[in-house]
């Protein structure tokens, strides 16, 4: 065994030589960004001192540490831990994470165009996306993807990230996919050419009856406003007079899409949102300025604890101007604005630069302490434990942050948008057995198989006929239970009967989507929502509240006891 002499000269690897150059370039770029975009911070000499110390430690570790190290991982870890000392929403994404995060908000991605599910270490095609290359190639719902470009894609350890990496890629490139299909003994090989796959954020848009329309928006991405305008125009042509806008579970996205949507409802020149930061160059005010497509007519907006950021901008503007009745539960409470800064290696820093405020002056940001992100992340658990998700009286208002809407109604800042009409979370039909069915995708997989086996028979009727007459039979339920038992879920008859209505409605909704939803244009999942909404307690309450929404629109605030 050869040993090195203690007096040896420490030699740098090529990577070590490049490291200070890369870090120095990054520092210079950071200084330029700082001098261009920021002011009023610490002197650059203080920043340089901190950088010099970090560089010194990093070089010592790289050159002298007893084991080999991954320098890039160390740097990423250091940045992440540093940012944990700031607010809960300033964040760092490595290049892969940044690309994936951006793809959720951009107009689409390049890939083969399938929605997939991983179940029992197998990748199942939920549905080929309408008009996409997989549909054109003949891939069907229920197909099992066994390998991609001869790389196995089944067995223990298969992950979503692995599937994304193999299926997504530059448009025009070919992907060799091996498929197993129910009813066929031999595997099938497909050559699929990747193409641009659009992403959608308006999940549903349909008429509930001759006057009431429903639109579900799942996030605020590049195309959200255009999708919304198209949906609204279609519904107006169908007789829309009253609207339910569902923002539940919407985590936000681009602020400009939310304010553009608010402008469709709010007339005249009115403030929609404003931001204030340490640097006045990040202060801005956004006002309504266009003739919107629904400035008259009662509006009900649904929110819950999953509605955040841009969702709260929209709900807050409509509430402050007395333009919509807000129904549901208190929203998430994210009122910090992040500026994405793309770094030299493709990674991204999302830096909090300001706070946003609703027209009445409310900051929606819920309280936090610097460096205590763990406590902050437990807020929703605390809401559950305190009973806030089930009882309006459990919501604690900060009386020092009392504001008024245009019509003089009292609203509160300091932690999300509090609804005008509270509706509790409905857990009455939950059970451990139901949770286990969800966790192993039993309902979804059974519905997929049933739809594939009975598609021709089901397609002989319209979706409306299916909606009104089709029932999940006891025989079907027994087959689903057998699937669950084979997957290791022990049958509990009492819990099965307790959760039976949920299991039946979920199964019916998914079958409807598989059979008729593929024909929908624009990414709409109307079939799912048309089955499930009538069983949703928040939706059920909302359709009965248009009397109050109309009073609100007419300015009749005295008789509008919206806090009950």
Note if 320 is an active site residue.
Answer: yes
d(CA 352, CA 86): 9
Q: What kind and span of H or E run contains 256?
A: helix 255-263
**Nearest by Cα to 417 from 286, 531, 303:** 303
**Nearest by Cα to 262 from 304, 220, 209, 201:** 220
Q: Is-contact 114 139, C-beta < 8 A?
A: yes
284: helix, strand or coil = strand
DSSP readout, 58-70? HHHHHHH-SS---
Per-residue 3-state assignment (H helix, E strand, C coil) for 397-416:
CCHHHEEECCCCCEEECCCC
User: Is beta strand 212-217 parallel, antiparallel or unpaired with respect to 242-246?
Assistant: parallel
Place of tokens 């929703």: 380
Sheet holding 421-422: strands in order across?
202-207, 212-217, 242-246, 299-303, 325-328, 421-422
Q: Which of 334, 354, 360, 379 is catalytic?
A: 334
Note if 309 is an active site residue.
Answer: yes
User: Is beta strand 402-404 parallel, antiparallel or unpaired with respect to 284-287?
Assistant: unpaired
Q: Which of 143, 195, 320, 322 is catalytic?
A: 320
Note if 559 is an active site residue.
Answer: no
d(CA 359, CA 409): 13
Q: Is-contact 534 289, C-beta < 8 A?
A: no
**Nearest by Cα to 96 from 345, 341, 352:** 345
Q: Which of 218, 260, 309, 354 is catalytic?
A: 309
CA 192 to chain centre: 28
Cite the active site residues.
Answer: 309, 320, 334
């Amino acid at each position: 065994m050869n040993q090195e002499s203690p007096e040896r000269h420490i030699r740098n690897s090529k990577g070590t030589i490049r490291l200070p150059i890369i870090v120095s370039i990054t520092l210079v770029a950071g200084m330029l960004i700082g001098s261009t975009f920021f002011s009023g911070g610490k002197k650059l000499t203080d920043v340089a001192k901190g950088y010099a110390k970090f560089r010194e430690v990093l070089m010592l570790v790289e050159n002298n540490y007893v084991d080999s190290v991954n320098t890039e991982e160390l740097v990423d870890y250091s940045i992440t831990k540093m940012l944990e000392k700031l607010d809960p929403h300033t964040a760092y994404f490595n290049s892969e994470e940044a690309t994936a995060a951006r793809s959720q908000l951009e107009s689409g991605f390049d890939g083969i165009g399938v929605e997939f599910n991983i179940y029992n270490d197998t990748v199942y095609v939920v549905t080929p996306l309408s008009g996409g290359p997989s549909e054109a190639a003949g891939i069907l719902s229920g197909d099992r993807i066994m390998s991609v470009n001869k790389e196995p894609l089944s067995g223990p350890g298969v992950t979503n990230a692995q599937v994304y990496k193999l299926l997504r890629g530059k448009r025009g490139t070919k992907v060799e996919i091996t498929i197993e299909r129910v009813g066929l003994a031999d595997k099938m090989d497909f050559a699929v050419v990747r193409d641009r796959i659009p992403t959608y954020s308006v999940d549903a848009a349909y008429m509930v009856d001759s006057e009431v329309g429903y639109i579900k928006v799942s996030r605020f991405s590049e195309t959200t406003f255009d999708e919304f305008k198209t949906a609204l125009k279609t519904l107006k042509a169908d007789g829309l007079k009253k609207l339910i806008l569902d923002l539940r579970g919407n985590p936000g996205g681009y602020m400009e899409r939310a304010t553009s949507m608010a402008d469709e409802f709010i007339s005249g020149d009115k403030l929609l949102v404003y931001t204030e930061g340490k640097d006045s160059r990040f202060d801005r005010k956004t006002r309504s300025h266009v003739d919107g497509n629904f400035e008259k007519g009662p509006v009900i907006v649904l929110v819950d604890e999953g509605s955040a950021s841009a969702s709260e901008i929209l709900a807050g503007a409509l509430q402050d101007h007395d333009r919509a009745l807000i129904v549901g539960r208190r929203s998430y409470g994210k009122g910090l604005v992040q500026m994405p800064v793309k770094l030299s290696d493709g990674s991204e820093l999302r830096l909090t630069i300001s706070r946003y405020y609703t027209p009445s002056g409310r900051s929606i940001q819920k309280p936090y302490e610097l460096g205590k992100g763990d406590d902050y992340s437990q807020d929703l658990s605390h809401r559950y434990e305190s009973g806030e998700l089930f009882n309006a009286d459990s919501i604690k208002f900060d009386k020092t942050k009392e504001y008024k809407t245009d019509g003089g109604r009292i609203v509160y800042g300091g932690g999300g948008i509090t609804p005008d009409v509270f509706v509790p979370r409905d857990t009455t039909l939950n059970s451990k057995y139901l949770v286990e069915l969800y966790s192993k995708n039993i309902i979804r997989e059974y519905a997929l198989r049933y739809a594939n086996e009975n598609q021709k028979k089901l397609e002989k009727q319209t979706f409306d006929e299916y909606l009104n007459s089709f029932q999940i039979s006891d025989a079907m339920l027994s087959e689903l239970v057998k699937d669950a038992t084979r997957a290791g879920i022990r049958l509990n008859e009492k819990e099965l009967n307790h959760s039976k209505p949920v299991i039946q409605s979920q199964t019916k909704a998914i079958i409807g989507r598989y059979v008729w939803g593929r024909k929908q244009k624009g990414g709409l999942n109307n079939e799912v929502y048309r089955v499930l909404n009538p069983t949703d307690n928040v939706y059920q309450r909302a359709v009965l509240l248009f009397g109050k929404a109309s009073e609100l629109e007419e300015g009749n605030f005295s008789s509008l006891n919206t806090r009950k």
